[in-house]
Amino acid sequence: MSTKKIAVLTSGGDAPGMNAAVRAVVRTAISFGMEVYAVRHGYNGLLTGEVEKMDLRSVSNIIQRGGTALLTARSPEYNTPAGVKKAADKCREMGIDGVVVVGGDGSFRGARDLTGAGIPCIGIPGTIDNDIACTDYTIGYDTAMNTAMEMIDKIRETTESHDRCNVVEVMGRRCGDIALNTGIAVGAISTLVPEVEYDFEKDVIERIKKAQETGKHHFIVVVAEGIGHVEEICKKIEAATGIESRVTILGHVQRGGSPTVHDRVVASRMGYYAVELLRDGKSNRVLAMKGEDIIDLDITEALDMPRVFDEKLYKISMELSR
Ligand code: F6P
Pocket of ligand 1, beta carbon within 6 A: 13, 127-129, 171-173, 225, 255
> Residues 132, 276: one domain?
yes
Taking Cα atoms as reference points, which of 260, 252, 269 lies closest to residue 16?
A: 260
Q: How far is the CA of 206 from the centre of ligand 1 (A)?
A: 32
* pLDDT band of 314, cuts 50, 70, 90: very high
Among the listed residues 105, 129, 142, 177, the single catalytic one is: 129
> Residues 153, 200: one domain?
yes
Is 35 a residue whose pLDDT tops 80? Answer: yes
Beta bridge partners of 246: 166
- How far is the C-alpha of 269 from the C-alpha of 44, rounded, in Å? 26
136 is catalytic: no
The rounded percent of the chain whose pLDDT value lies above 90 is 98
* pLDDT band of 2, cuts 50, 70, 90: low
List pLDDT tens digits, range 138-157: 999 999 999 999 999 999 99
- How far is the C-alpha of 283 from the C-alpha of 208, rounded, in Å? 52
Q: How far is the CA of 129 from the centre of ligand 1 (A)?
A: 8
* Ligand 1 atom nearest residue 178's Cα: 6
For range 239-246, the mean pLDDT: 97
**Residue minimizing CA distance to atom 15 of ligand 1:** 13
Taking Cα atoms as reference points, which of 149, 104, 114 lies closest to residue 14?
A: 104
pLDDT in the model for residue 244: 98
> Residues 107, 147: one domain?
no
> Residues 136, 12: one domain?
yes
| Number of domains comprising the chain | 2
- Do the domain assignments include residue 322? no
pLDDT in the model for residue 74: 86
Is 3 a residue whose pLDDT tops 80? Answer: no
Length of the chain: 322
> Residues 19, 130: one domain?
yes
Residue that is last in its domain, among 235, 255, 275 = 255
**Residue minimizing CA distance to atom 13 of ligand 1:** 13
> Residues 86, 33: one domain?
yes
- Do the domain assignments include residue 9? yes
- Do the domain assignments include residue 312? no
Residue 225 has phi, psi (to 5 degrees) of: -50, -40
For range 169-188, the mean pLDDT: 97
Range of the domain at 221: 143-255
> Residues 129, 160: one domain?
no
For range 195-219, the mean pLDDT: 97
- Do the domain assignments include residue 122? yes
* Ligand 1 atom nearest residue 226's Cα: 8
> Residues 83, 95: one domain?
yes
**Residue minimizing CA distance to atom 12 of ligand 1:** 13
- 258 Cβ neighbours under 8 A, 6+ residues apart: 16, 64, 65, 66, 143
* pLDDT band of 321, cuts 50, 70, 90: confident
pLDDT in the model for residue 175: 97
> Residues 35, 109: one domain?
yes
CATH of the domain at 218: 3.40.50.460
- How far is the C-alpha of 177 from the C-alpha of 182, rounded, in Å? 8
Beta bridge partners of 9: 101
Q: Where are the alpha helices (DSSP H) in the chain?
A: 18-31, 42-48, 81-94, 105-116, 141-161, 177-186, 200, 206-213, 230-241, 261-279, 299-304, 311-320
List pLDDT tens digits, range 152-164: 999 999 999 999 9
* pLDDT band of 208, cuts 50, 70, 90: very high
> Residues 23, 84: one domain?
yes
For range 249-253, the mean pLDDT: 98
* Ligand 1 atom nearest residue 255's Cα: 4
> Residues 26, 68: one domain?
yes
* pLDDT band of 110, cuts 50, 70, 90: very high
Question: CB pairs under 8 A, 24+ apart, for 112-117?
Answer: 112/284, 112/299, 112/300, 112/303, 113/84, 114/43, 114/84, 114/87, 114/88, 115/283, 115/284, 115/299, 116/84, 117/84, 117/85, 117/87, 117/88
Question: Distance of CA 155 to CAs 151, 186, 306, Å?
Answer: 6, 10, 35
Its pTM stands at 0.97
For range 111-135, the mean pLDDT: 98
Average pLDDT value over all residues in the chain: 97
Is 285 a residue whose pLDDT tops 60? Answer: yes
Q: How far is the CA of 227 from the centre of ligand 1 (A)?
A: 14
Is 1 a residue whose pLDDT tops 90? Answer: no
CATH of the domain at 11: 3.40.50.450
Q: How far is the CA of 163 from the centre of ligand 1 (A)?
A: 32
* Ligand 1 atom nearest residue 131's Cα: 1
Is 231 a residue whose pLDDT tops 60? Answer: yes
